[in-house]
Chain A
């Protein structure tokens, strides 16, 4: 009897701990990927430091928004197989790398956007080897939902991009689901991406968690100006799709 009581107390304690833990720390995984080996001295003669700066910024801020654990990788751990085998479990996905809207295998005018994996230590990028196509990502997601997707690359925020669809995010600005996609429509300087993403997180996470919406943070960051542009054909144009009232809270419900 005493043993049964002790067991009951233990179970109750465990259940109450579960409740407390579940409320505060449901495992809503986020992955932050940044290709750095393409931009090292081995390939370019110099080391571009923006990939590391963007990785550090977004790793910290996506965690601060409530996603946990934060996986992904800076550098050689960012492989196609690692990305595709983990993406199903993610609620938030961030990638900083080279990205573009490429013709699909079926040919023009069909587009199958892609990002490039990190080529690995000692290697340099090759599209044929490193591309992670949006069609491959879509297959790996098995139709599951994503709260937050940020493609910190060139062009994957343009109307031609097929990347939002890979994560079941329709290219609409009036969704009522908990989802938000951010990308850049044009060729974009890394410094501008860093400035924009710093401002976005500053506004979103600069208040107690989930008081502000991603759309407000996006609008603030897009409005602060001061973005360098590579040329007049490529003005700085971040873009979003999803739910304008979504505050970044992880999870579906």
Chain B
């Protein structure tokens, strides 16, 4: 143990040494040029970092945004979150999540957030979460009790999902995850849902709602056989001669957001409305299976083009 501690001290020493060496390297120009020096980005950070999305916010005050703070307080109380010693608000333009929202946080006496609520531009609840650690030694509610608890608070919070709940144990965080998938025109919207995490003692830790814009249904819909032809044609083109095989596991119609998964030219493009697509889950074999467990392909149900997908590495 003492050896570990001794070695552990080496790294801070290296950090300081690096600064000293850096100073030594710049000391000449510093003195000669009267401290003028160019402050550039961190060494080693690629130039691609420039132009990376950022998060900017504007402070919101309770006096100026009374409706927002009142709504946030009502949601906090409905969910059973503790009230803080103070509250803060902000309007956020979130370039990392491609979202814009109003946020109200309850703060403890040290100014640390103990919970927050976020609302979208239409004033609808997007997410609410409490930040205290989950209980570890309390009694455990059943999945049915967790589902009922979540349903009750969602109704009181103005979120009333109409679909059937799917309840999963969460061995990592403890308790249960309850999901209500969103459907539109009878088809699931991939990723869209209302969800809640219920602690093992039955209290709610978080609720969230994800809802994407959906395009009109295609006037003419590709059949499953034709869609499968598109998928096999695509995978034949990709895998032939590369020592890899594949098997199409399943194909279902879903609304999906087109993405840049297989087209670098689309990275950074503005999010587009969801389109109805055949979603094919494909399992690779051979060489590709060394690093990939599943490839998911989105085939536009209207025109049969590949509009994105996903990978499980």
- A residues within 8 Å of B by Cβ? 10, 13-14, 17-18, 21-22, 25-29, 35, 38-39, 43-50, 52-53, 56-57, 59-61, 63, 68-71, 74, 88-89, 91, 97-98, 116, 124-127, 142-145, 153-154, 157, 159, 168, 173, 185, 187-191, 195, 198-199, 201-202, 205-206, 212-213, 215-216, 219-220, 222-228, 230-231, 235, 237-239, 244, 251-253
Please give 13 more A-B residue pairs, beta carbons under 8 A apart, in addition to A199-B97, A225-B195: A14-B23, A14-B31, A17-B23, A18-B19, A22-B19, A44-B238, A89-B11, A126-B290, A143-B3, A154-B313, A185-B172, A226-B195, A230-B296
With beta carbons under 8 angstroms apart, the residue of B96, B191, B259, B260 that contacts A199 is: B96
The answer to whether B313 touches A97, judged by C-beta atoms less than 8 angstroms apart, is yes
**Is B151 part of the binding interface, using a Cβ–Cβ cutoff of 8 Å?**
no
The answer to whether B42 touches A63, judged by C-beta atoms less than 8 angstroms apart, is yes
Which one, B44-52, B142-150, B223-231, is touching chain A?
B44-52
Complex contacts, B84 vs chain A, CB 8 Å:
none
- B residues within 8 Å of A by Cβ? 3-4, 7-8, 10-12, 14-16, 18-20, 22-23, 27, 30-31, 35, 41-46, 48-49, 52, 55, 57, 92, 94, 96-97, 112-113, 116, 126-127, 129, 131, 133, 168, 170-173, 177, 179, 190-195, 197, 205-206, 208-210, 235, 237-240, 242, 244, 259-264, 267, 281, 287-288, 290-294, 296, 310-313
Say whether chain B's binding surface is mostly helix, strand, loop, or mixed: mixed
Give CA–CA (A189, B42) in the complex, Å. 31
Complex contacts, A89 vs chain B, CB 8 Å:
11, 14
Give CA–CA (A142, B4) in the complex, Å. 7
Of chain B, the residue at the smallest CB distance from A236 is B177
Give CA–CA (A212, B294) in the complex, Å. 36
The answer to whether B209 touches A70, judged by C-beta atoms less than 8 angstroms apart, is no
The answer to whether A25 touches B19, judged by C-beta atoms less than 8 angstroms apart, is yes
The answer to whether B11 touches A91, judged by C-beta atoms less than 8 angstroms apart, is yes
Give CA–CA (A171, B311) in the complex, Å. 28
Complex contacts, B45 vs chain A, CB 8 Å:
59-60, 63, 68-70
Of chain A, the residue at the smallest CB distance from B177 is A235
Most buried by A among B15, B20, B35, B267: B15
The answer to whether B131 touches A216, judged by C-beta atoms less than 8 angstroms apart, is yes
The answer to whether B313 touches A98, judged by C-beta atoms less than 8 angstroms apart, is yes
